[in-house]
A and B are shown apart, each in its own frame.
Chain A
Amino acid sequence: MWRDPTKRAMIYQAVALTVVLTIGYYLFSNTQANLQKQAIATGFGFLHREAGFEIGESLISYSAANAYARALLVGVLNTLSVAFIGVILTVLLGTLVGVCRLSSNWLISRLASGYIEILQNVPVLLQLFFWYAIFHDTLPLPRESFNPLRGVFFNNRGFYFPIPVAHDAHFWMGMALAVALLAGIFLRRWSRARQDRTGRTFPAWSASFGLILALPLIAWAAAGAPTAMDVPHLVGFNFIGGISVSPEFGALLLGLVFYTSAFVAEIVRAGIQAISHGQTEAAMSMGLKPGLVLTLIILPQALRIIIPPLTSQMLNLTKNSSLAVAIGYPDFVSVTNTTINQTGQAIEGVALIMVVYLFFSLVTSAFMNWYNKKMALVER
């Protein structure tokens, strides 16, 4: 029997499964016993109970009287908002630094490489603490707020900006923007089809850019051109009105964006360098303009190299946003941590954290696979 490879394979697998299941059962039974002894409730029933703790910032209405489920939802939304804004800023900053790294200007390329080396090699948690300490220690108290522009206040409780007072015009502006975006897509399709048919080109990009700017402006003017601003003002010890960004959010965002953008810059640099110079020369010799060389020849090839590692960096940023718990920004991990401390239900809490982050990464990798298939070289 031992000499038959198929049977031997079966035995190996049976042994491996038995070992894993035995360990699993052992841990499970220990846990059961411990939970019973310490009288800790199990299951997700706690989600419907009253949370009883306040959360500093929230995108949806929340109070301590709400259920744990809603508190956790607030956490998820906070995580997503940090990740969303962070990803956009990281891609922009990282691309800029990566291009600067390749600049023919010695000063710029040295500065960019210094930026990359320093930020890559210092732990992100330390960077978060550093920014948080800077905001906390160097910004003034609310009474002596730093006031760089009219209506803009920086102090150690946060950053306050004025926003327009809510008005019907904003709804119509949003609608106009959506219409402009749709029109832009159709314009591009039409111009491409016409170019394929007749060979004549149409400036679809600048035309749709013009639409995106013009339509909302027209809607704003047509709806009565409201100019009232909600300016933050000091009441007691704090500012009210306008829109505010807490120092926790600011520090988290700055730390994550600076750290991740250093990695993105390296990825962008490698992607651009991987495209051989012959491609540029061939495109130029066909008579393409420099802008077209970039958009038609270089970028499609460079993106194929850049996108996969870029996605894993975006995922890293999302996972690193869990460090918010260390500086007190109420992201998902931080809210779950409070929940664990209050209910004692550690297993459910940690399982929730894992499931939510696994969900994020599965969605991202599904998107990645789709994109890779779409962009992959079509080979014979």
Chain B
Amino acid sequence: MEIPAHPAQLEDLKPPVTSVGVIGWIRANLFNSPFNSLLTILILFCLLLAVPPFFKWAFLNSLWTSSGAECKLASGACWSVVVKNFRFILFGFYPYDQHWRPAVSVLLLVSLLLYSRDRRHWNQRLAYLWVVGLAAMGILMRGGILGLMPVETDSWSGISLTLLLSIFGLTAAYPLGVILALGRRSRLPALKTLSVVYIEVIRGVPLISMLFMSSVMFPLFLPEGITVNKILRAQVAIIMFTAAYIAEVVRGGLQAISRGQYEAAESLGLDYYQKMRLIVLPQALKIVIPPTMGILISAFKDTSLVVIIGLFDLLKTTQVTLSNPEWMGFSAEAYLAIALLYFLGCFSMSNFSRRLERQLKT
């Protein structure tokens, strides 16, 4: 091959202006075939029809701090229903002058979650931090010591209830799910049957039937005179439900560990518990971190079902606000606002899970 004598003298040919830059991008991504061009134009037309009126409704003509009566006269969105009632929607029936306590608890939880996002922080210290953090949240919410006014769990509501049910639900369901998964993989027929029946029955019924069970059947199960708080009963139902799904995820992880690992552990003379605790589970649980995030996301969304048995979670406090005659008829605005809240939570979790999946794929 002949090398040009003076490369500097050869001037680079510029690519044609139609294939680079903005025009090139538009040609390659929006008008790369007659059919695609037609679709692009059609969609742009539809967007032109839909977006400006929505923008007008949501921003230009909207009211943010007015009263309900003023809203009824306006043509735009009435965001005041959220702005004026945000404290009730977020914290529900928690005593009004004590709202800083659930607020601090939620902030504490969110910052713990954000801190745990970084894999460099995953060590024993993080576990202690979580224990301390959860205890602090419990004390803050419950009160009764350190000069805090005691608050009955019955009045815990709004976003704190939603977070409590989902985070505690997952934490408590996890060990139960691992035990069930081990039971399902066990060689002992009785244990295996019990686990399989539990997992398959729970996975076959809707969550709402479990919640009904907790609200109408559970009181019959207990001996006379003992009553269990409604929130705790719902929490138990959510834990039992989530555990079955975790068990299936963990089973997937256990199946992905090659037989050689089990055999190597046995040949070292480890007994069952040592084998599982030291060799199998650490590997299996690492594999199943991303699908477990998926379960956390569904648990977060599914806690909204407690509305049906009359607990005051985020969705129910919104509905209570909407049943106030002053704010009746502005459901679309209120539901959109809390949909945004749920979306932010779930979307950041699923983004995190996707990133984690890439990092763990070694």
Contact = CB atoms under 8 A, between A and B. Distances in A.
A315 to B, nearest CB: 8
Nearest to B208: A322
Contacts of B308: 323, 325-326
A281 B350 CA distance: 34
Contact of B221 (A31, A105, A118, A126): A31
Secondary structure at the A interface, as helix, strand, loop or mixed, is helix
Interface in B78-102: none
Interface of A: 9, 12-14, 16-17, 20, 27, 30-31, 33-35, 37, 103-108, 111, 117-118, 120-127, 129-130, 133-134, 136-138, 319-320, 322-323, 325-326, 333, 337, 340, 346-347, 349-350, 353-354, 357-358, 360-362
Given A108-B43, A129-B315, A358 B30 contact: no
Given A13-B190, A16-B194, A105-B40, A121 B347 contact: yes
B230 interface: no
Contacts of A346: 212, 216-217, 220
A354 B237 CA distance: 14
Contact of B206 (A35, A129, A322, A349): A322
B39 A319 contact: no
Interface stretch (B61-69, B134-142, B149-157, B197-205): B197-205
B339 A130 contact: yes
B299 to A, nearest CB: 11
Given A125-B307, A134-B332, A16 B208 contact: no
Interface string B292-322: 0000010001101101100000010001000
Most buried by A among B207, B208, B338: B208
A123 B205 CA distance: 18
Contact of A319 (B205, B315, B319): B205
Contact of B304 (A37, A123, A138, A361): A123
Contacts of B33: 104
Given A126-B342, A137-B332, A361-B203, A107 B40 contact: yes
A126 B335 contact: yes
Contact of B331 (A16, A118, A129, A349): A129
Contacts of B207: 319
A78 to B, nearest CB: 15
Contact of A354 (B39, B44, B205, B305): B205
B291 interface: no
Contact of A13 (B188, B319, B336, B338): B188
B43 A107 contact: yes
Contacts, number: 158
Contact of A9 (B36, B188, B342, B347): B188
A31 B217 CA distance: 9
B36 A105 contact: yes
B331 A13 contact: no
B201 A121 contact: no
Contact of B339 (A30, A33, A122): A122
B209 interface: yes
B190 A16 contact: yes
Of A27, A125, A138, chain B has the most CB atoms within 10 Å of the CB of: A125
Given A126-B342, A350-B217, 18 more contacts: A12-B188, A20-B194, A34-B222, A107-B40, A121-B301, A122-B343, A126-B339, A136-B331, A319-B205, A320-B206, A322-B209, A323-B308, A333-B206, A333-B212, A346-B212, A346-B220, A349-B212, A358-B201
A6 B315 CA distance: 53
Nearest to B189: A13
A34 B224 contact: yes
B135 to A, nearest CB: 29
B306 to A, nearest CB: 10
A30 B223 contact: yes
A111 B217 contact: no
B213 interface: yes
B319 to A, nearest CB: 8
A125 B40 CA distance: 34
B30 A106 contact: yes
A124 B315 CA distance: 12
Contacts of A323: 208, 305, 308
A33 B216 CA distance: 16
A130 B332 contact: yes
Nearest to A138: B332
A133 B188 contact: no
Nearest to A259: B301
B191 interface: yes
Contacts of A347: 217, 220
A37 B224 contact: yes
Contact of A362 (B204, B222, B331, B336): B204
Nearest to B349: A121
Nearest to B203: A361
A272 B117 CA distance: 32
Contacts of A319: 205-207
Interface string B115-141: 000000000000000000000000000
A340 to B, nearest CB: 6
Contacts of A325: 208, 308
